[in-house]
Each structure stands twice: as C-alpha cells, then as structure tokens.
C-alpha cells in the first residue's frame, strides 16, 4: 500500500482543524508548513492537563542554561502519576523525547497529535491505562529557540526550525555518558526517577536521497542482556510491521553509506556507543529505540510517520510491557551477578555481508567543477532498486572481565569521577578509614595519545594498556564502587579505561597521563653511562635495541629515555589510571 498523496495527507493530518482549539498545534493549523515556538509547548502542556485532568499532568523536570523550563507530560488513564504509583501497580513506563536535535522537530508535533487522539479515544484505546507515557516534546529547548530557516539545509520543512546544539554549543546526542549539559543531567534524573522500560528518541536522518522513509533501531538487539535482546527485537520488528501496514518503507538499520556519499558502498548495522541513547539505555538493562524519519520527505509526511511509530510503541508496551518489564528486572538481577564474567565494552560489524535490495533513485557520480571531487546527483523522478551490501553481523569489539568485587577511586580523584557517577545514579560507598596495602589491579597505559582537536569541549584520550596486580594504600575519602549492582554494565562503561565513553576516554583523568618530570640530557647521559658500566645485561639489551630498531637508533631522546625509564628517578605514577579494580571488598 502506498502512502496518501501529499495533499490528502495534509488534509488527514489537519482533521479536525478547530482554529480555536487550545490542543491543536501551529503545525496542524498551518497544514504542516510551520512548527511552533517553545511557548506553544508550555501552553499545550498546561492545556492538555486542563482538558484531561484525570489523565495528564504537566511537570517541569529541569531548567535550561538560558532559563527555560523543561516540560514533560505525564499521561496515563490509570491514575498513576508518580513513579511510586506506577511501580505499585506494576505499570511499565514509556519515555519519548523529541528535539534532542531541535531542527529535527517531527517528534514534537507528532507526539502532541498522537496523545490527543489517544486521549480522545480515536486510536490505541486502552493503551494509556496499561502504562505511563512520559512525553518530552523538546529536549534541546535553547537550541529550539535559535529559530530560523535553513537550520537544516538538507531537510524539507518546516519553514523554520531550531538548531542542532544547545546554548552551550553541546550536542545532547553525544552527552548521555559524560553528562556535561544541564539538560542531560535533568533528563538522566528523570530516567532515574521513573525508570522507563522503553526510551524513544525521535530524530530526522541526514544523508542521501532514497525512497525509504524511516529507520527503526532498538537496543538491546545486538548488545546488552541476552534475554532482553528478544524483547528489543520484538519491539523493533513490531514497529516496523506496523509502519509497513500504514504504507511506510521502514529500515532496521541506520541508512548511512559506509563510504562517503557513495551508494554502492552499502551499509552496516551496529551498536551505537553509549554517548547515544540506544547505546546508553542497554547499559541500564532497558530498551531504547531510535526513530529516524527521512529528511527529504515533506514535513507532513514525516510527522505522520513519526506519529505512527509513537502509536505503535505505545500499543506494544500496553500489550507486552508487563512481560518485558519482568525480563528487564531479571536482567537487573543478572547484571548484579556479572562479577568475573566477560562483558563487551563496544561492538563492530564484521566483514561478512549480504546483498540487499534497497529502494533508491537513479544517480550519477561525476566530477564536480565546484568541489573538484566526485559528486553524487540523484534523480527523484526515477526510482530504482540498488543491490548493495549490508554488513549486519555485529560482534563485540572489546571485551573485559568484570572485576570480582568492584572499583576503588582514590580520594584525590573523586572530584573528577564522582559527579559522573552521581549523574547516572551509580551506587558507591565512601571509605571511612584508611585502607593499608590493598591487593588490587592497576591499569597502566603503554600508549598515550591525546586528540589534537576539541570534541564536545573535551580533549579525548586514546590509550592502550593492561590491568596488572598492584598493592596500594588508600586514604579516607576514597570510594568503593561495587560491581554487584543492576547498573554493573554502566559502571564498567564509565570506569573501564578502554570503554569508548568512559571517564578516561572523555579526558576526566587526563592529568594522570601527562608527563610532569624530566631528566636533563646531560644528567641522563651521565646516569646512562653508570648504568651500562654496572649492568652487562642492560648493555646487551640496549645494543640489541640499537641494532634492531632504526627509529630508536636515530633518536637521541628515545635512547636517553630508555635509561631514564629504568632509573629510580622515573615517575612510577606516569600513565597509571587513577582507578583500581579489586577482587574482594576492601573494607
């Protein structure tokens, strides 16, 4: 079944058009040419609560850097309007947010439309009685109010829209783990308070021109708790099936070409790192869905597609949410028993692929007089099928055994680490008495590279190294983070130094990897001569290195450092990650 023609779609979306109805949006009243400003969200939040007092509450869950209230609509016909009431009744919670990238604003208008239709009994009857629906119309509110045309140059409609980043120029869709932005800390507090079973992140994709109109990705599917993956797969497949029944052409992977803008390179599936919502929620043993409508579809079409995805998810949670919630709670228990077990830190697609038929358009790749490179040009009047590779076998990239007991953060480093743990609700305990000679494991880097540019306000660290046995004493004020907690995967994602979005990777502990002391060359020369004279084995090792390593042989600094690193003057803390692992509770 094909979608309605655009004119008919606009008409259908606009019914009923009550110009004075406080619950219709600017988008509806304009025939989906425009979208409203944030004052409309505030007004609609209050208006929904006033119109449906038995089913909706309008709450503020945070304040943006520019002082705007962050609004969430709490909707349920069960009468459960607090996390405690929802838990007491065993109701699953579904949290959906729009406008994390405020130019991609389909979710705001689609969510208000879907919620009104559900409350009026026009569709998904009974779905709101079997769950609590949390709807955040706009996450990046300050970015939403940086409002003008062409904020999204590769997107068809609305006429004007918000901006990708926040007022602090942070991309919230890179912030779930590091939690720098006040908006993200407010969202994480909302997640911690309500513990949603399903978190839905509503976007509009960038990229090429093709016929497919939306992609639906869910985790856990390729990651996280094994049993919960079945629930994630069911949620994804159910949403895709519903969208197809409504005439859509959904994809189960993000349609970004492997190689630049070359369609022939095909696609690969994967698991986002936890700086993104779908990579993050699986670390909490909960499900996350990424909805990406296609930017080249008209705004009315995209809103309708997003609307259909929203309704599908809410219907599925109403039907299967209690069973899925049971699996999620069992996953919490399993995560609390991960001690000593291998845990993947990130994932990759393998070289294996299958050829798929992808609905694209005719295109050419010809040299550009403007850029000087190959330019892809699409002809939307000529639909065609592309036969392209899809790499969709996803495996762990980096796997680490969980510590048998947990992690220790020395007192000197708690200020760098604890704010992030607090933002995620990770459980830890402060050490009340000094710990003498703790049997632990310490991670020392053997390769240290700091990024040359700034990313999200950070100089990231790329280091390799290994955990080795160590005996260390810790002062009062140090912190013990037990691995035996439901958020064990999240703990490892934050504290394992080679996890892609750990506190170390985001540069929170960069000072530990900076060299602070040096030996003057003339001193190093004198000490090297003494060491060579006193140790024939050292002389043999040095001469062998000179013979076999040309770069070493040609570098005076490397040759002197060879001896400095073996000297008692060398900094034995250089490259030592300031978090320890322990196999027994040290207290």
CATH number, domain with residue 122 = 3.40.630.10
Domain co-membership, 484 together with 375: no
Cβ-Cβ contacts under 8 Å for 214 (sequence gap 6 or more): 243, 248, 249, 250, 251, 291, 292, 293, 294, 305, 306, 309
pLDDT at position 302: 98
Rounded CA-CA distance 472/389 in Å is 52
Let me know whether 233 and 286 are in one domain.
Answer: yes
Instruction: Answer yes or no: do 554 and 438 share one domain.
Output: no
Q: d(Cα 194, Cα 83) in Å, to the nearest integer? A: 5
Interhelix angle 536-548/521-534, nearest 10 degrees: 120
CB 78 within 8 A of CB 51: no
Same domain, 447 and 326: no
Domain total for the chain? 4
Verify that 301 and 416 share a domain, yes or no. Answer: no
- Domain interval for residue 538: 521-564
Q: Are residues 69 and 90 in the same domain?
A: yes
- 506 and 476, same structural domain? yes
Q: Do 253 and 362 sit in the same domain of this protein? A: no
Whether 180 is covered by a domain: the verdict is: yes
Q: Are residues 380 and 481 in the same domain?
A: no
Q: Is residue 349 part of a domain?
A: no
Instruction: Confirm whether 30 is domain-assigned.
Output: yes
Residue 396 lies in a domain: no
One domain for residues 422 and 436? yes
What per-residue confidence (pLDDT) applies to 553? 97
> What pLDDT, on a 0 to 100 scale, did the predictor assign at position 207?
81
Residue 347 within any structural domain of the chain = no
- 345 inside domain: no
Distance, in Å, from the CA atom of 357 to the CA atom of 378, rounded to the nearest integer, reads 18
Residues of the chain with pLDDT under 50: 1-2, 4-11, 13-20
Residue 164 φ then ψ, to 5°: -65, -45
Same domain, 365 and 273: no
In a domain, 341, yes or no: no
- pLDDT for residue 58: 98
> CB–CB of 278/289 below 8 Å?
yes
Q: What is the pLDDT of residue 18?
A: 39
Task: Give dist(CA 474, CA 434) in Å, integer.
Answer: 6
| pLDDT at position 587 | 86
**What are residue 511's phi and psi, to 5 degrees?**
-60, -30
Q: Model pTM? A: 0.94
Q: Which pLDDT value is given to residue 20?
A: 45
Residues 153 and 180 in one domain: yes
Identify whether 263 is part of a domain. Answer: no
């Amino acid at each position: 079944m094909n979608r309605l023609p655009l004119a008919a779609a606009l008409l259908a979306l606009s019914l009923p058009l009550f110009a004075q109805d406080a619950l219709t949006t600017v988008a509806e009243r304009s025939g989906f040419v425009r979208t409203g400003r944030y004052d409309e969200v505030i007004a609609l939040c209050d208006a929904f609560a006033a119109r449906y007092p038995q089913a909706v509450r309008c709450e503020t869950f945070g304040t943006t850097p520019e002082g705007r209230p962050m609004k969430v609509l709490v909707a349920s016909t069960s009468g459960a309007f607090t996390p405690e009431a929802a838990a007491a009744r065993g109701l699953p919670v579904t949290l959906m947010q729009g406008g994390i990238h405020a130019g991609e604003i389909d979710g705001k208008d689609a969510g208000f439309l879907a919620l009104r239709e559900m409350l009026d009994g026009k569709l998904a009857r009974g779905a709101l009685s079997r769950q609590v629906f949390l709807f955040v119309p706009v996450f990046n509110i300050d970015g939403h109010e940086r409002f003008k045309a062409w904020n999204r140059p590769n997107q068809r409609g609305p006429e004007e829209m918000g901006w990708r980043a926040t007022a602090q120029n942070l991309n919230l869709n890179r912030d779930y783990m590091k939690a720098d932005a006040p908006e993200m800390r407010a969202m994480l507090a909302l997640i911690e308070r309500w513990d949603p079973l399903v978190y839905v992140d509503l976007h509009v994709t960038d990229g090429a021109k093709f016929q497919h109109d939306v992609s639906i990705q869910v985790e856990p599917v390729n990651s996280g708790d094994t049993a919960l993956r079945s629930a994630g797969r069911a949620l994804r497949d159910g949403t895709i099936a519903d969208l197809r029944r409504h005439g859509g052409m959904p994809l189960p992977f993000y349609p970004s070409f492997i190689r630049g803008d070359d369609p022939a390179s095909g696609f690969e599936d994967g698991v986002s790192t936890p700086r993104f919502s779908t990579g993050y929620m699986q670390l909490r043993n909960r499900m996350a869905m990424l909805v990406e409508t296609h930017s080249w579809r008209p705004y009315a079409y995209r809103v309708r597609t997003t609307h259909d995805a929203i309704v599908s998810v809410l219907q599925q949670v109403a039907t299967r949410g209690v069973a899925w919630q049971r699996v999620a709670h069992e996953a919490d228990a399993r995560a609390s028993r991960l001690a000593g077990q291998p845990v993947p830190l990130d994932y990759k697609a393998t070289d294996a692929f299958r050829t798929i038929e992808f609905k694209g358009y005719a295109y050419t790749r010809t040299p550009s007089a403007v850029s000087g490179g190959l330019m892809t040009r699409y002809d939307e009047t000529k639909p065609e099928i592309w036969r392209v590779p899809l790499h969709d076998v996803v495996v762990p990239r980096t796997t680490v055994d969980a510590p048998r007991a947990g992690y220790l953060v020395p007192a000197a480093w708690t200020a760098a680490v604890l704010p992030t743990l607090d933002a995620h609700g990770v459980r830890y305990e402060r050490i009340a008495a000094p710990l003498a000679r703790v049997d632990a494991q310490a991670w020392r880097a053997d390769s240290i590279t700091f990024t040359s540019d700034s990313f999200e306000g950070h100089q990231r660290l790329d280091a390799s190294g290994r955990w080795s046995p160590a005996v260390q004493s810790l002062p009062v004020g140090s912190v013990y983070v037990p691995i035996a907690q439901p958020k064990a995967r999240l703990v490892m994602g934050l504290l394992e130094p080679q996890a892609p979005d750990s506190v170390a990777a985001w540069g929170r502990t960069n000072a530990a990897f900076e060299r602070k002391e040096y030996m003057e060359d003339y001193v190093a020369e004198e000490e090297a001569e003494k060491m060579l004279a006193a140790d024939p084995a050292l002389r043999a090792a040095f001469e062998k290195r000179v013979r076999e390593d040309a770069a070493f042989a040609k570098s005076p600094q490397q040759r002197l450092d060879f001896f400095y690193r073996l000297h008692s003057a060398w900094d034995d803390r250089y490259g030592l990650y300031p978090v320890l692992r322990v196999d027994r509770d040290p207290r």
